[in-house]
Amino acid sequence: MTDKKKIIPILISSVISVLMVAISEKTGKPEIIFPEIAAIAIGMLAAPVQIWNTSKLRLFLTVTASALLGMAVVRFVPFSMYFKIPIGLTAVMILITMSQTNFLPAISACILPIMNFTQTLAYPLSVVITTGLILLTQHILEETGVLSKYHYVPIEPTKPLIRLRLAQIIIVSVMCILPIALGRPFFIAPPLIVAFAEMTAPASHIKKNITTATVMIAMSAFLGCSSRLLLSEIAGLPLAFAAAITSFTVMVAVSKTEFYFAPCGAVGLLPFLIPQHTLIQFPFALSTGFMIFALITVLSSNHVKHEQEEAAKAREEEPEHTEAFNHV
C-alpha cells in the first residue's frame, strides 16, 4: 500500500480504540475496554490483506460467541482459576476449530472475562460493536480499493490440527499454574496466549522472526504503560488521549516494519484496563511471559523438525532395506 492508503486504516483503527476507552472512562465501566480490538484492527485493516483465514461473518460470530463463552465460564463454572482457564481455553479452541477458521484472537475474547471475573453485558456489547465497526470499515476500504479482498477457504479439522490445538491447550494450562499461584497474571495475559497460538501454527512466519516479535511486544507494553502513567496518572489528561497516542504509534510501527503481529495491538491497550499500581511491573512481567512462550515455541519447533528429519531419513532408507531383503 502507498503511504496515503496506509494512513487511512491507521487513523480509523485508532479512532475506534479511542472511542472505546473514552466511553469506558466516561461511564466508569472498565469492562467496555476490549484490548483485542486493536489486534483485530492490525490484522484486518493495517495489513494490506487480512492475516487470518476467515470470512467477516465467521469472524464476527466467533469473537462474539467467544466473549459469551468466557462470561459463561465465570458464571457457571464453580471452580478456581486453575480450572476455569483450561476449561475456557478448551471451549474456545473447539469453537475456533468448528468455525473452520484460524481466527485465534477469539482466545483472548474468551479468556479476558475469565481473568477479570466479568459478568456484565457491557463487555460482549463492546465486543460486538467494536468488531462490527472494524469489519464495516474493512468492507468499505475493500470496495474503495484501499485494501485487497481476501478469499476465505474453510479449514478442515484434520487430525494434525486437532493434535496441535490439544498441545496448545495443555502447554498453556500448565503455564498458567505458577502465575495464578503467585498472583502474577500478566505472565499469562490473554494476548500472550494468542501470540503463542499464532507462533506455534504450522506455517507461522512469527517463529522465524522471534526477536522482532519480542521487541514489538515489549515496545507495545512499555508504550501503553508509559502513556497512561505520564499522560493520565501524572499529567491528568483523559485516558482516551493516552490511548490515542499508544494505538496510533503501535499501528504506525507495525505498518512501517510490515510486521503485522496482531497481539502487539492488544498488549498496547491492555494497560488501560489494569489497576494503576500494576503499571510499573506490567511491561516487565508481560515481556518475560512472552519470552517464555517464545522459548517453548522454539524448542517445540526444533523437536518437531528433528522428528520430521528422522521420518524422512527412515523413508529414504526403507527402499534400501526392501532391496536387500529381496536380494536375500
Classify 145 in phi/psi space as left (phi over 0), alpha (psi -120 to 50) or beta. Answer: left
pLDDT (average), residues 141-154: 92
Q: What is the mean pLDDT of residues 247-265?
A: 94
- Residue 282 grid coordinates: 506490567
Q: By the 8 A CB rule, do 267 and 222 touch?
A: no
**267's grid cell:** 498488549
Stretch among 84-93, 160-169, 297-306 having the lowest mean pLDDT: 297-306
Residue entry with cell 499454574: 177
Q: Which pLDDT tens digit goes with each residue over 262-286?
A: 999 999 999 999 999 999 999 999 9
- Greatest alpha-carbon pair distance for the chain in Å reads 87
Residue 112 pLDDT > 60: yes
So what's the pLDDT on residue 208?
84
pLDDT digit string (tens) for 83-111?
Answer: 999 999 999 999 999 999 999 999 999 99
pLDDT confidence bin for 6, thresholds 50/70/90: confident
pTM strictly above 0.85? yes
Q: Residues 6-21: what's their mean pLDDT? A: 92
Residue 292 amino acid letter: I
CA distance 108 to 36: 7
Distance CA(227)–CA(35), nearest Å, equals 15
Mean per-residue pLDDT, 222-226: 96
Q: Average pLDDT over the chain, rounded to whole? A: 89
Looking at the chain, the whole-number percentage of residues with pLDDT higher than 90 is 80
CB 115 within 8 A of CB 185: yes
Contact 283, 218 (CB under 8 A): yes
Instruction: Kindly report, residue by residue over 291-301, the tens digit of the pLDDT.
Output: 999 999 988 87
